[in-house]
Amino acid sequence: MSEASTARERAAELEREAVTYPEDRGEIFLEAAEEWKRAGEPERAVALWREVISAGGDDAGYARYNWAEMCFEQGRDAQAWEHLRALEDAADAGVAGLVAELLAERGDDEAALRWFDRGIGALGDDEVAATGTSGAAPSIHAPLFFGRQACRRRLGLPVDRWDRVAEVADRNRVDFVRRLERTVSIVRPPLSADATTMLVWQRAERERAAARWPSVFRVETDHHQQVERRLRDVCEEHGLTKVTLVLGSADGFAAYLETEGGDPAEEGVRLAYAERAKEQGRRLVWPPGRNESCWCGSARKYKKCCGDPRSVS
């Protein structure tokens, strides 16, 4: 079956679903509209967006955004801007963030910045404060601050109060990734050496991941030494002699995101990938023999690399 006919069937199925679940009608119509678009029948998508907009509520903003996006794709910029203007006073933080990202992608940093400001302005003071609190869990609102900070940098604007929120949120995110890399072994109490697994990124994959998701993964020169220390601590704490390493891969993570969806900046998404990699990823047993290749993927002998007592003591 062609992609278009699959999308068409899926759209029709969603429309039937909307009858069964009237309380989720807006959300289901938004999904169906995307399928109609994919099926090459944009006029049917437009018909659904119109309905969602006339029903009002949160979904209406997303419908308007999706419609504007399609207008840009079709080269009908004036109409796209009209939709965005209609959103100006109604957009919540989520929709405003999407509009901002869309405009930034189109290279219109000044307009994007206004939408980032509008999105952050729609948050409560407590949400802004929580996002900028050092040591806090990654905030779902952090991408608004990151996107805004990137725009302001490109525009050569000085660091301001919300840029400082972005800086703190970025540190919180990096700390979170470090915790994630421990999570697989710590989530469940280990039953045996075989049951103890840890997600790790070898050097090349970690660099690939950092290139792809620069705000999520950061290249740090001593990263693998830190992991080695953690592995030793885990073994000591639980009386283990070996740990199974599950190797994360940038392509695997990208494929996971493509099939399952989600934002790599979100905690839940990365944790779910860690679980998936545990089932499907390549594995290695730690520690390797002293004269074997190091687990970190450096191509050096373990004893000369992460297993060098001078580097881990």
Shortest Å distance, C-beta 309 to Zn ion: 13
Shortest Å distance, C-beta 294 to Zn ion: 3
Say how far apart CA 298 and CA 228 lie, in whole Å. 13
Closest Cα to residue 63, out of 31, 38, 20, 108? 31
Q: How many residues line the site for Zn ion (CB under 5 A)?
A: 5
Shortest Å distance, C-beta 216 to Zn ion: 22
Shortest Å distance, C-beta 270 to Zn ion: 23
CB nearer Zn ion, residue 48 or residue 296: 296
Q: Which of residues 23-62 bind Zn ion (CB under 5 A)?
A: none
For the chain, the three-class secondary structure string (H helix, E strand, C coil) is CCHHHHHHHHHHHHHHHHHHCHHHHHHHHHHHHHHHHHCCCHHHHHHHHHHHHHHCCHHHHHHHHHHHHHHHHCCCHHHHHHHHHHHCCCCCHHHHHHHHHHHHHCCCHHHHHHHHHHHHHCCCHHHHHHHCCCCCCCCCCHHHHHHHHHHHHHCCCCCCHHHHHHHHHHHHHHHHHHHHHHHHHHCCCCCCCCCCEEEECCHHHHHHHHHHCCCCCCCCCCHHHHHHHHHHHHHHHHCCCCEEEEECCHHHHHHHHHHHCCCCCCHHHHHHHHHHHHHHCEEEEECCCCCCECCCCCCCEHHHCCCCHHHHC
CB nearer Zn ion, residue 143 or residue 307: 307
Shortest Å distance, C-beta 297 to Zn ion: 7
CB nearer Zn ion, residue 120 or residue 306: 306
Shortest Å distance, C-beta 232 to Zn ion: 13
CB nearer Zn ion, residue 63 or residue 294: 294
Say how far apart CA 110 and CA 125 lie, in whole Å. 24
CB nearer Zn ion, residue 274 or residue 306: 306
Closest Cα to residue 67, out of 51, 85, 86, 45? 45
Q: Which of residues 74-103 bind Zn ion (CB under 5 A)?
A: none
Q: Which of residues 253-312 bind Zn ion (CB under 5 A)?
A: 294, 296, 298, 305-306
CB nearer Zn ion, residue 149 or residue 202: 202
Shortest Å distance, C-beta 298 to Zn ion: 5
CB nearer Zn ion, residue 269 or residue 296: 296
Is-contact 119 96, C-beta < 8 A? Answer: yes
CB nearer Zn ion, residue 59 or residue 228: 228
Shortest Å distance, C-beta 253 to Zn ion: 21
Q: What does the binding site for Zn ion look like in residue numbers (CB under 5 A)?
A: 294, 296, 298, 305-306
